[in-house]
Amino acid sequence: PELPEVETIRRTLAVKLAGRTLTGATVFYSGAIAHPAPEQFVAGLRDARVQGLRRRGKYLLIDLSSARTLVVHFRMTGRLVFHPRPASPAPHTHLVIDLDGGGQLHFVDSRKFGRLWLWPTAALGGDGPLARLGREPLEDGFTREFLRVELGRRRGKIKPLLLDQTLIAGLGNIYADEALHLAGLHPEKPACDLSPAEIGRLHRAIGRVLQDGIEHNGTTLRDYRDGTDTAGRHQEYLRVHRRPACPVCGAAIRRKRVGGRGTHYCPCCQKEESGHGD
């Protein structure tokens, strides 16, 4: 899950969890618990009340009355699903959190890459799991000028830089492909070669594709579900990612690896030295 998916999970769980008390937890796969040790993790959750849910990049933050925050990083296939009544754990369920009133929260992850932390809330930005995250692309600090300065001093290809979480927190492979197409930029163009007009297009495109993804409750290509186990709809609106043809010109979408990541782009609309504009 990327920023729009985690934001959708946050929104769908916020209405279910606000004010609820965690009455206990069962860990089925200790490797999912990054910090502290599983026994301390479970003890730290018990009797804590949910005060609110936030998002930072691709991380979900559940703030608790114990002055700790349950941090969830879903990685590739993680899900966090609310059940109004006790439910049998599905395959690949790594953690079940019991709630007052009989509800449960299940963390499910078939690839086992997802991780959870129970961290002091005040220290999340210090040496915690969020320490090195970059700017939030939907907040005021993510300006065109910020993008101009940061990209202007980097010689790498633009696509891998957009995936650098220390630069932009929350942007992932799907939405980077979408933003580059909307901005008319070839994914291998050196970041330092972007013109002011191209930077402006890219800045607007990043915001637009992320907002569109949130509006459509995220993108479900295979595993993603929101906090109520509902699939997203944004896959129906994707421009190039895993699409056969460009919606602008009809050319066949090309796929290649850029910076080690599968990348989809239109060879006509995203030429290396020119673009189609907004």
Q: CA–CA separation, 255 vs 257, rounded Å? A: 7
Question: Which residue is catalytic, options 1, 4, 137, 160?
Answer: 1
Which two tokens mark 273? Answer: 């030295």
**Closest to 141 measured CA to CA, from 129, 149, 153:** 149
Determine contact, residues 170/57, Cβ cutoff 8 Å: yes
Q: Which residue out of 2, 7, 178, 198 is catalytically annotated?
A: 2
How far is the C-alpha of 14 from the C-alpha of 152, rounded, in Å? 39
CA atoms within 13 A on the CB side of 230: 13
What value does the CA radius of gyration of the chain take, rounded to a whole number of Å? 20
Q: Please name the helix (run of DSSP H) or strand (run of DSSP E) that holds residue 44, with its range, or none.
A: helix 38-45
1 included as an active-site residue: yes
Spot the catalytic one: 148, 157, 261, 271.
Answer: 261
Per the annotation, the verdict on 2 as an active-site residue is yes
Q: Which amino acid would we find at residue 253?
A: I
Catalytic site residue from 10, 58, 79, 189:
58
CA distances from 92 to 45, 89, 105, 256 (A): 21, 8, 14, 31
261 included as an active-site residue: yes
Catalytic residues: 1-2, 58, 261
